[in-house]
Amino acid sequence: MSQLIWNGLFVGSFYALVALGYSMVYGIIKLLNFAHGDIYMLGAFAGFAMLTVAGGLATSAGFVALLVVLVLAMLVTGTAGLILERVAYRPLRGAPRLSVLITAVGASFALEYGMRLVAGPNPEVYPVRLSGTTVHVLGARITLEQLALVGIAIALMAGLQYLVMGTSTGRAMRAISMDPKASLFMGINVNRVISRTFFIGSALAGAAGVMAGAYYGKIDFLMGFIIGLKAFTAAVIGGIGNIKGAMLGGLTLGMLESFGTAWLGGEWRDVFAFAFLILFLTVRPTGILGERVTERV
C-alpha cells in the first residue's frame, strides 16, 4: 500500500513538473502547447549529451554532477521554449486559436523528428543510473536518489509558487492571464512576460526530462509524446491554467496510475490515465481547482 503511494508520488512529481509548463502557458495565452512534451524530451537529450561529454567525471561524481547537468539542461530547454514561442507562436498572436493549435502540433513533430535526425531513431542509455541505497519507510522501498529527485521536484515547485504569487513578474503573469489589454495599460511589456513564462515552463519540463532519463535509464526521441498527453491530463484534472491545480493534478494522476496498475495490471496504465481525462472533461471540465469563469461587467 505505502509502496503504491510512494510510486504514485514519485511518478506524479514528474507529471506535475511537466503539467506546470502546460498550465502556465495555457493560463497566459490560452494555447495548448502540444510541443511541451517534446521540450521534456529535449531536456533529457541535453542532459544525455552533457553527461556523455563529461564522461567519467559524471559517473564518479554521481549525484552532484547530475545536479549541475540538471541546471544546465534547464537553461537549454528554457531557451528552446523561448525560441519556440518567438518563432512559432508569436507571429500568430491574434490568429484563430485553431491555427495556433495546429502550429503547436507541427512544432511537436518538428522537435521530435529534428531530434531523430540529430540523435538517431534508437533509444539511448542514460550514462547515469540511479540505483543506490534503499531505505524503508512504512513498508515502502525507497532509494535515496528517488527521495532526492522528489525533493528537487518539490523545491522547483515551491520556487515557482513563490515566483508566481510573490514577485512582480508573477503578478504580471496573472494579470495578463486575466486581461492582456488592461495589462498594457499598467505598462506591462506583455511579450516579454510571455517569453519569461515560456522560459520557466520549459525549464521545468527540461528538469523533469533529465530526472526521468536518470531514473528510467533510457531515452528516445518520442519519449515526450505520451508524457505530454499525461501532463495535459494532469493539467485538466487539476484545473488548467491553475498552478496549484497542475501540481495537484500531476500527483493525482500519478496516484491513480499507481493504484490502477496495481489492480488492473501494467498494460492498463495509459488506458486508465486517459479514461480519467475523458471523465474529467465530461463531468468537471474545470478540474479540481478550476474556477467557474464568471465575468462581471
- The residue from 175, 229, 255, 288 that contacts other proteins (CB under 8 A) is 175
CA distance 127 to 187: 47
Choose, by CB under 8 A, the member of 155, 189, 264, 278 that binds other proteins: 189
Q: Is 178 in the site for other proteins (CB under 8 A)?
A: yes
Q: What are 147-152's contacts with CB under 8 Å, separation 24+?
A: 148/63, 149/10, 149/13, 149/211, 149/214, 149/215, 150/9, 150/10, 150/13, 152/67, 152/70, 152/207, 152/211
95 contacts other proteins (rule: CB under 8 A): no
Least separation in angstroms between CB 73 and other proteins: 32
| Nearer of residues 155 and 178 to other proteins, judged by Cβ | 178
Q: Out of 86, 171, 244, 269, name the contact with other proteins by CB under 8 A.
A: 171
Task: Tell me how far, at minimum, the Cβ of 291 lies from other proteins, in Å.
Answer: 7
Q: Which of 94, 265, 282, 296 binds other proteins (CB under 8 A)?
A: 296
| Contact (CB, 8 A) for 77 and 209 | yes
In whole angstroms, the minimum distance from the beta carbon of 174 to other proteins comes to 6
When binding is defined by CB under 8 A, the residue of 65, 107, 172, 235 that contacts other proteins is 172
Smallest gap from Cβ 185 to other proteins, in A, equals 5
Q: Does 292 bind other proteins (CB under 8 A)?
A: no
Asked whether 26 and 32 are in contact (CB, 8 A), the reply is yes
Question: Which of 174, 222, 262, 269 is close enough to bind other proteins by CB under 8 A?
Answer: 174
Residue spans of alpha helices (H) in 62-96 = 63-84
Using CA atoms, how far apart are residues 46 and 22, in angstroms rounded to an integer? Answer: 20
Strand extents, DSSP E, 149-261: 218-219
In whole angstroms, what is the distance from residue 191 CA to residue 174 CA? 14
Give CA–CA dist 274/91, Å, rounded. Answer: 32
Binding site for other proteins (CB under 8 A): 168, 171-172, 174-175, 178-179, 181-189, 291, 295-297
